[in-house]
Amino acid sequence: MTRPPALTFTDKGIYCPAGDFHIDPWRRVDHALITHGHADHARGGMRRYLATHAALPVMRHRLGNIDAQGIAYGDVLRIGDAQVSFHPAGHVPGSAQIRVEVAGDVWVVSGDYKVIDDGFSEPFEPVACQHFITESTFGLPIFRWRGQADVAADLNAWWAGCAAEGKTAVLGAYSLGKAQRLMTMLDDTIGPILTHTAIENTNEVLRTQGLVLPETVLVTTDTDPKDHPGALLLAPPSALGAKWARRFGPQESAFASGWMALRGVRRRRAGDRGFVISDHADWAGLLWAIEQTGAENIYVTHGYTDVFTRYLNESGYTAQVVPTRFEGETLDSGEAA
């Protein structure tokens, strides 16, 4: 008996024939199910969107006036012959893994995910399935994240050190997700948190939907650095070292990303410090997540796909590389997760 699989891989993205919908497509389609609001997963131009209630505000903010339906985590929706549900991926607020079941054939598309609880995003929940589509952004054993509390202690010690020396601490981080997670890790008794417009815009969206963030001060052309001694300036990576940041006088710069684990990348960024904080699973996290699903068939997308797939095959899974246009957190891109 041959039945088409519940999900297939097409040149438009991941497709479900039984429900006639795509997941995170990169070309125009009628019905797009979106795992989360980052640009490489939520693209414009789809006729209809479906995403979690918590992911929609950011998508609307980014994509404008879209025809979008919201869904709660865990609710099951019937689309054609497919049963669809969304489950927390722990990547950023509102991010989801999408479970698709067609006639007992269960697939899970994980999108981007991390398995630790960052105290901010809805924590990752393993979902049992037969077919698991996983990312592999940090799919090498050299990537092992330290506990968030330890990194937060380092981060705050750095900020306090800058403040004590009369320097502004300039911290670079991606505007959606990472920046807000960092804000929740910061000890705002050290000083005020100033933000770049790109970050503050996202802050506003997330605050409006009920997420709690520390108080921030938006930097405008009228902002006088002297009014904010001991400040930490949170900016997208592209603004680091730019004229915008330079007017804050003596400063130290830092960048927060999983790639900061690598000394070469850290030095190339030409910042002073690198903090290893990622919204993706590390090596152990990826392996744990895969094991938890109980799936035998693993499809590996963006990241160290070839190497990770080979390792999974040697470990008893049936794994294959699936080419996608998801970029995850690429090493040298200007803006990503």
Partner 1 sequence: MKRFAALFDAIDQSTKTTVKVAALANYFRTAPEHDRMWCIALFSGRRPKRAVTTTRLREWGAEVAGIPLWLFEECYPVVGDLAETITLALPSNVTTDDSSLFHWINALRDVYKADETARKAFVLDAWQRLGGTERFIFNKLITGGMRVGVSQKLMTRALAAATERDEAELAHRLMGNWHPDDTTWHQLIEAEDASADASRPYPFYLAYGLEVDPAALGDTEDWRAEWKWDGIRGQLILRDGQHFVWSRGEELMTDRFPELARAVDFLPEGTVLDGELLVWQPDANHPSSFNALQTRIGRKTVPKKLLAAAPVALHAYDLLEWKGEDIRQRAFAERRALLEAACADLPPEAPIRLSPQLRFSEWQTLADHRENARSAFAEGLMLKRADSPYLAGRKKGDWWKWKLAPLTIDAVMIYAQAGSGRRANLFTDFTFAVWNGNDLVPFTKAYSGLTDEEFRKITAWVRKNTLQRFGPVRQVTPHHVFEIGFEGIQASLRHKSGVALRFPRMLRWRQDKPLQEANTIGDLEDMLKTYG
**Contact residues for partner 1 (CB under 8 A)?**
140-144, 252, 261-265, 267-268, 270-273, 304, 307, 310-311, 314, 331-333
**Distances in whole angstroms, Cα of residue 213 to Cα of each of 12, 132, 148, 205, 275:** 37, 33, 17, 11, 20
**Helix then strand then coil, % of the chain, to nearest 5:** 25, 25, 50
**Beta-sheet strands, E only, within 121-224:** 131-136, 168-172, 193-195, 217-218
Give the span between the Cα atoms of 198 and 179, in whole angstroms: 10
d(CA 35, CA 43): 11
Closest CA to 234 of 314, 316, 189, 179: 179
Terminal CA-CA length for the chain? 42
Secondary structure E strands in 95-187: 96-102, 105-109, 131-136, 168-172
Cα gap 245→247, rounded to integer Å: 6
